[in-house]
Amino acid sequence: MEIKAHAKLNLTLDVLGKRPDGYHDLRMVMQSIELADTLTLTRNDTGELRVGTNLHFLPNNERNLAAQAALRWWERENTVPCGLDINIEKHIPVCAGMGGGSSDAAAVLRALNQMEDRHLDLDILAEIGALVGSDVPYCVMGGTALAEGRGEVLTPLPPLPKCWVVLCKPEFSISTPALFAKIDSVRLRCRPDAKGAVAALEAGDLAGVARRMYNVFEDALPDRQRNRVADLKNTLIQCGALGASMSGTGPTAFGLFDSEDRAMEAREKLEDFGGEVFLTRTV
Ligand code: C5P
């Protein structure tokens, strides 16, 4: 079975506080985009779970979230794992704040649900996904949603009006646990207006959403990296983006456009900065 695993963007991301279990309470408006990995799941008769990807540095064992999802699925179903090959063709930048690994895990859950003819509800799949990672439940659902709690408390939102997205993943990567650890001691310059963003979604107001995009993790980045993300955002705005922000714990910067021509121009400009640049659309 072949299945797509779409990347996500955080239109807003706020950290509300640290919890006794070591995680942080979050409030995030999430959006799926067309940029996606392609997963192929094939039963094999070796009894083994094998993972392969086109990127040699990614784990091909149980450290891969896709494999963890399959193991959690079998645990929940109380079945002995059959032999399975999971092949992942990566297109989503890795360690980018775009939920690539989480989305692969979510795709495995959805694929096994069909292959094994189980038809579990999406909220059960999301529950299994929460055992794999905080972003997996959202990736199971996809679309436009408010994610709260650790990221697993989901409220579907009206879809973001269709638009073009230009994004750039600079060549450096960010450690998610390290940035979460740092955010506790950082004085935040401002907080995103998630309520306003939700109201703008309800009104179908793309510019209103874009204007309110903000991610508190930008304040926790080391100076050089923060400046780099700021440069990318400024370039996007200069090219006509309705708004620009960073996704997840970064370092990917993205902008929303209501004009394909302007989006194409922005892609060209960002290509001069290096890194991985994409022009895509919202799902
Ligand atoms: O849930 P996940 O394994 O993706 O989280 C990775 C790390 O990110 C956690 O170990 C934790 O350090 C941090 N995290 C957090 N609060 C969240 C989600 C993640 O502190 N809501």
pLDDT for 167-214, tens place per residue?
A: 999 999 999 999 999 999 988 889 999 999 999 999 999 999 999 999
Q: Which atom of ligand 1 is nearest to the CA of 135?
A: 4
pLDDT for 81 beyond 90:
no
Q: What is the pLDDT of residue 179?
A: 95
Q: Is the CB of 182 under 6 A from ligand 1?
A: no
Q: What is the pLDDT of residue 275?
A: 94
Percent of the chain with pLDDT over 90: 90
Distance (Å, rounded) from C-alpha 155 to C-alpha 161? 18
Q: What is the pLDDT of residue 79?
A: 81
pLDDT for 111 beyond 80:
yes
pLDDT, tens digit, for every residue of 29-38? 999 999 999 9
Q: What is the pLDDT of residue 187?
A: 86
Q: Is the CB of 134 under 6 A from ligand 1?
A: yes
Q: What is the pLDDT of residue 151?
A: 98
Q: Which atom of ligand 1 is nearest to the CA of 176?
A: 8
Per annotation, catalytic residue among 37, 135, 169, 233: 135
Beta strand 49-53 pairing with 83-89: parallel
261 is catalytic: no
Mean pLDDT of the chain: 96
The residue whose CA is least distant from atom 2 of ligand 1 is 133
The residue whose CA is least distant from atom 21 of ligand 1 is 150
Distance 147 CA to ligand 1 centre (A): 14
Q: What is the pLDDT of residue 271?
A: 95
Q: Are 10 and 175 in contact (CB under 8 A)?
A: no
pTM for the predicted model, two decimal places: 0.96
Among the listed residues 116, 135, 118, 117, the one whose alpha carbon sits nearest the alpha carbon of residue 126: 135
Distance (Å, rounded) from C-alpha 84 to C-alpha 17? 40
- What confidence tier does 148 reach under pLDDT thresholds 50, 70, 90? very high
- Mutation test of ligand 1: which of 180, 216, 217 has the most ligand atoms closer than 8 Å to its C-beta? 180
Distance 135 CA to ligand 1 centre (A): 9
Distance 187 CA to ligand 1 centre (A): 20
Q: Which atom of ligand 1 is nearest to the CA of 25?
A: 21
- Reply yes or no: is the peptide bond before residue 222 cis, omega within 30 of 0: no
Q: What is the pLDDT of residue 119?
A: 87
